[in-house]
Amino acid sequence: MEVILQTLPQVLIDGLALGAIYAVVALGYTMVYGILELINFAHGEVFMTGAFVGTTVLLVMESTGTTAGLPGWAAYLLILVTAMLFTGVLGVGIERVAYRPLRKAPKLISLISAIGVSFVLQDLVRFIAELTTGNYIVSGTTLFDKSLTVPASSAVSWLSDASLKTNTLVIIGVAIVLMIGLDLFVNRTKWGVAMRAVAQDRETAALMSINVNKVIVLTFFIGSALGGATGVLFAQQYGTIDPFIGFILGLKAFTAAVLGGIGNIRGAMFGGLAIGVLEMFASANLGLLTSGSFGAEYKDVFTFLILIFVLILKPEGLFGKALKEKV
């Protein structure tokens, strides 16, 4: 127990950074589900595309010497905005081509279409990466790569000091800005009201002169842009990316959305942070808790077992509302 407590500061820092990424990606899942009741399994690949777009732009800037004349934050902002615009437009294109023609089809058909789009994006990015670099695994540079020491032991003697990458602060800061911005947009603007109206009852919203198609397009643009931004944050934090990073991460982000109550934006934020911290806790301490029987590679099992336990007790998610079946 003493060792577990000593590593707590490092677990919290790493867990919050990872959880912030899960939370922002989960927003894309929960927004689309809230509007269309569609699980957009291609969202993980939109996240991956954002990582590749941001890394490519950064590599091009470095090869042309553009980054030398720019402060780090300006270069970061540039690749972030570029990836958000690209993936936002990509999300709109996916909705127009793969989902809108199936809007009145059974939900299973749309789900299969989403899985198909996911595989197409994976292979398309892999093809382009191999064609241009000779390898589908791409490594980029990190703009904020300094390490800081958090002196937790000076505050509480039984805690160990923690290491903190400056990029972790950027991740948490950008994620907070994006989440607060989305929350304000949905709850304080006319378009946000329209989105909530369409989410509650699409037909009635259309009768009240709300352009449902425009609202759906806007939802896909914002959700996909958030996914692309998170891809850039991920690439900057971990350095190496490949076309398959979106699958597992997207699955966990979707789980975060379900844990918080899918369709609930604040629930998705909480779910992402909770899963990130739980995963890092399991990664650091599972060996100690099981006397070496299970190592860090079982962290996903630990996290999903807790998720199953929570959902058995509260199937609608922690922030969701139980729906009564209509007779």
- Token duo for residue 40: 């957009």
Radius of gyration of the chain (CA): 20
Q: Of the candidates 261, 275, 255, 250, which has an alpha carbon nearest to the alpha carbon of residue 114?
A: 250
Tens digit of pLDDT per residue, the chain (327 long)? 777 778 888 999 999 989 999 988 988 888 888 887 888 889 999 999 999 999 999 999 999 888 888 888 999 999 999 999 999 999 999 999 999 999 888 888 988 999 999 999 999 999 999 999 889 999 988 888 888 888 888 878 888 888 888 988 999 899 889 888 988 998 899 998 999 898 888 889 998 889 999 999 999 999 999 999 999 999 998 889 999 999 888 888 888 888 888 778 788 888 889 899 988 888 888 888 888 788 788 888 877 887 788 778 888 888 876 655 444
pLDDT at residue 322 in the model: 61
Q: Is residue 155 part of a domain?
A: no
Q: Is residue 154 part of a domain?
A: no
Q: How many CB atoms lie within 10 A of CB 309?
A: 10
Q: Is residue 326 part of a domain?
A: no
pLDDT at residue 326 in the model: 43
| Number of domain units in the chain | 1
Strand partners, 165: 147
Q: Is residue 188 part of a domain?
A: yes
Residue carrying structure tokens 């490519």: 56
Domain that holds residue 6: 1-146+164-313
Four-point Cα dihedral 245, 247, 251, 256, nearest 10: 30
Q: How would DSSP label each residue in 104-136?
A: TS-HHHHHHHHHHHHHHHHHHHHHHHHHHHS-S
Give the pLDDT confidence of 36-66 residue by residue, as tens digits: 788 888 999 999 999 999 999 999 999 988 8
Q: Is residue 83 part of a domain?
A: yes
Q: Is residue 22 part of a domain?
A: yes
pTM of the model: 0.88
pLDDT at residue 325 in the model: 46
Q: Of the candidates 59, 205, 202, which has an alpha carbon nearest to the alpha carbon of residue 132?
A: 59
Give the pLDDT confidence of 266-285 residue by residue, as tens digits: 888 888 898 999 888 888 88
Strand partners, 163: 149
pLDDT at residue 327 in the model: 40
Q: Is residue 18 part of a domain?
A: yes
Residue carrying structure tokens 């006319």: 190
CB 250 within 8 A of CB 132: no
d(CA 275, CA 324): 28
d(CA 248, CA 251): 5
Q: Is residue 152 part of a domain?
A: no
C-alpha distances in Å from residue 111, one per residue of 119, 135, 221, 301: 13, 31, 19, 25
Four-point Cα dihedral 312, 273, 253, 87, nearest 10: 150
Q: What is the CATH number of the domain that holds 271?
A: 1.10.3470
